[in-house]
Structure 1
Amino acid sequence: MQKTTYLGDLQLAIMRVLWDLGEATVTDVHQALLDERGLAPTTIATMLKKMEEKGVVTHRAEGRKFIYQPTISEDMVTRGMVSDLTERLFGGDPVALVSHLISRHEIRPDELSALEQMIADAKKKEGKR
């Protein structure tokens, strides 16, 4: 089984910048998160170093600048974190997760239609197997 990549709040914010830009320097990430986070560039640099040790980013040097790139996709992180959440909070039962989301949140008619379409598509896909 593939190891789940869990990212904390700041790590996820940094990854979103990298996913959006494709690659970025510490300065680029700092600028992108400055209004939202107000963190020092050294904090961003430290976090990127930790994230590289974790294996979720890599870098190349251009002169004195490090340019960081994500090594994992947003989809991989989302799937892993949702799977982990489902396992820990709902005993691995995706129906319980969806039931919780539907019963605890107001769902607009267009959202409900979209969910119904996803279910119909999944049924068709399953029927082809």
Structure 2
Amino acid sequence: MKSLPALSAAEQALMDLIWQKQPVPVAALLELVNAERAEPISRNTLQTQLTRLEAKGWLRHEDGEKVRHYSAAVPEKRGRGKILSELKERLFGGSGLSLVRCLVEEGGLSDAEIKELNDLIKDHRKGGKA
């Protein structure tokens, strides 16, 4: 598979919604986007963002009789992995340990998440897959 271009924060937020709701028509996506915004964006602005995501290879569309539906062209696990890899490289010099240490030390993980992380580490040591 070809390498995916990086996403802006706005593009990543759109991908999050699309991964959750796909396939999603533009009108429904516009509602979802604007539900979380103090200042709503226009349909034209959203359409521009969708066109850019499609050109980057992150999205695809399917035209119905009257409605265009958007779906992710990249599976969520692969997309989030790409985003995390870039974040890890940019903020932590490529160190996964530094990333996890930051989450743990800054209170970014609940006790239940820390227990799950410990279980993942134990499984990994035993040769299991997470």
TM-score in terms of structure 1 length: 0.83
Deviation of 1:5 (Å): 4.3
Identity of aligned residues (%): 27
Distance 1:95 1:2, change over 3 A: farther
Deviation of 1:97 (Å): 1.6
With CA pairs under 8 Å and 6+ residues apart, which has the higher RCO, 1 or 2? 1
Task: Work out whether 1:122 is the aligned partner of 2:124.
Answer: yes
Distance 1:90 1:24 in 2: 35
Q: How many residues align?
A: 127
Name the structure 1 match of 2:77: 75
Deviation of 1:112 (Å): 2.3
> Is contact 2:4–2:57 with CA below 8 Å preserved after alignment?
no
Task: Answer 1 or 2: which has greater helix percent.
Answer: 1
Map 1:103-118 → 2, pairs under 5 A: 103-105=105-107, 107-118=109-120
What's the secondary structure of 1:125's corresponding residue? coil
Deviation of 1:53 (Å): 0.9
| Structure 1 range deviating more: 94-103 or 41-50 | 94-103
Amino acid at match of 1:31: E
Map 1:86-101 → 2, pairs under 5 A: 86-101=88-103
What's the secondary structure of 1:72's corresponding residue? coil
Structure 1: runs of 5+ lacking an equivalent: none
Amino acid at match of 2:87: L
Map 1:1-12 → 2, pairs under 5 A: 3-12=3-12
Name the structure 2 match of 1:66: 68
- Bigger Rg, structure 1 or 2: 1
Distance 1:117 1:50 in 2: 40
| Structure 1 range deviating more: 78-87 or 96-105 | 96-105
Deviation of 1:114 (Å): 1.6
Distance 1:67 1:89 in 2: 35
Q: Considering only aligned residues, what root-mean-square deviation do their CA atoms show, in Å?
A: 2.3
| Structure 1 range deviating more: 92-101 or 106-115 | 106-115
What's the secondary structure of 2:28's corresponding residue? helix
TM-score in terms of structure 2 length: 0.82
> Is contact 1:4–1:81 with CA below 8 Å preserved after alignment?
no
Structure 2: runs of 5+ lacking an equivalent: none
Amino acid at match of 2:97: V
